Amino acid sequence: MEAQAQGFSNPITTRRVLMGVLVAVVGLASILVPWAFYVLVLVVGLVSIYELDRLCEIKGQPLVYPVAVLGVVGYILLTALQLLHKWEGVLLAVIVVASFGIGMYGEQKGYFARTAYTLLSVLYIGKLLTYFVLVRQVDGVGAWWTLFVVVTIALTDIFGMVIGTLIGRHPLTKISPKKTIEGSLGALIFVTVAAALLAVCPQFHLTWVQGAVLGAVTCLAAQAGDLIESGLKRDAGVKDTGSVIVGHGGVLDRFDSYLFGGVAFFAMLHVLGILGMR
């Protein structure tokens, strides 16, 4: 969806491409081994919650950080152990009580906001990341479906940037001025077609219609996730959430679209009755 892009001769762009390829290779390879994938999701969650805490600190109200970390670890670990359905209520209760309890030892001004931000951050990072673990755990096709959703979201970012750069003229929203309507619609069209073609592969156990719907909804959700994170950065007055990934900014900058894309994909598996048939 980017309306502007630097030429490939620019070293920053070259580093961006190389780092993007490296991240993709590591991510896709981890899908083959369930626990390697779960560890990667956990690392993404922990770095993201750290970066989100920095954004909140810039705004003048940092999270109750130990509780936020505990919440993210708890969500991902319980999901990996297939225990979240049993213990999520307890986990949420602990997070709420701990946020209010530990939060009162900070400054009195901002006490409520501090606890509210902490709970929201755990749900935003920890809860939403669990849907990738849930998809990976589906018997027989978990690895293939995880590949499907990861590739779909990655193509959303790629097509949005390329098409927006080539023909983007109309800004999509003030939240992220470089995003364009042309880039957004172009990504939706190309990703929907790509997902339909990908679904034809028998390993996915999907029809081309199911693939198209999954691709379209996941693409829209991924774009929404990107815009929401852009809104958080604009509110804090920063360009990137960090500098961990060279050329891409922070981990949250790189995986913002995955947070909403993953839950949308999992939800559509239920809406379309695909999970119910397994």
Domain boundaries, the chain: 1-29+138-278, 31-137
For residue 10, the model assigns a pLDDT of 42
Type of residue at 70: L
φ, ψ of residue 156 in degrees (nearest 5): -60, -45
Give the rounded percent of residues in the chain with a pLDDT score beyond 70.
87
Q: Would you say 99 and 60 are in contact if contact means Cβ atoms under 8 Å apart?
A: no
pLDDT digits (tens, 9 = 90+) for 53-103: 999 888 888 899 999 999 999 999 999 999 999 999 999 999 999 999 988
Mean pLDDT of all residues in 208-231? 95
Q: pLDDT at residue 269 above 80? A: yes
Reading the block at residue 32, the tokens are: 């083959």
More confident position, 133 or 16: 133
The distance from CA 197 to its chain's CA centroid, rounded to whole angstroms, is 24
φ, ψ of residue 179 in degrees (nearest 5): -80, 140
Q: pLDDT at residue 5 above 80? A: no
Mean pLDDT of all residues in 172-194? 90
More confident position, 230 or 195: 195
Q: pLDDT at residue 20 above 80? A: no
φ, ψ of residue 180 in degrees (nearest 5): -125, 155
For residue 16, the model assigns a pLDDT of 56
Q: Which of 19-28, 83-92, 165-174, 235-244 has the lowest mean pLDDT?
A: 235-244
| Cβ partners under 8 Å of residue 164, min gap 6 | 1, 2, 3, 178, 179, 180, 182, 183, 184, 186
How many Å from the N-terminal Cα to the C-terminal Cα in the chain?
Answer: 36
Q: pLDDT at residue 50 above 70? A: yes
For residue 230, name the pLDDT band (cuts at 50, 70, 90).
Answer: confident
Mean pLDDT (the chain, rounded): 87
Q: Would you say 69 and 46 are in contact if contact means Cβ atoms under 8 Å apart?
A: yes
pLDDT digits (tens, 9 = 90+) for 193-211: 999 999 999 999 999 999 9
- Write down the H helix ranges in the chain: 11-30, 34-58, 65-80, 84-103, 111-121, 128-136, 142-167, 181-199, 208-236, 251-271
Task: DSSP letter for 127, please.
Answer: I
For residue 3, the model assigns a pLDDT of 44
For residue 253, name the pLDDT band (cuts at 50, 70, 90).
Answer: confident
Give the rounded percent of residues in the chain with a pLDDT score beyond 90.
61
Mean pLDDT of all residues in 111-119? 90
The Cα–Cα gap between 258 and 273 comes to 22
Q: Which of 16-25, 80-89, 164-173, 261-270 has the lowest mean pLDDT?
A: 16-25
For residue 275, name the pLDDT band (cuts at 50, 70, 90).
Answer: confident
The Cα–Cα gap between 155 and 272 comes to 22
pTM (2 decimals)?
Answer: 0.89
The Cα–Cα gap between 26 and 31 comes to 9
For residue 27, the model assigns a pLDDT of 85
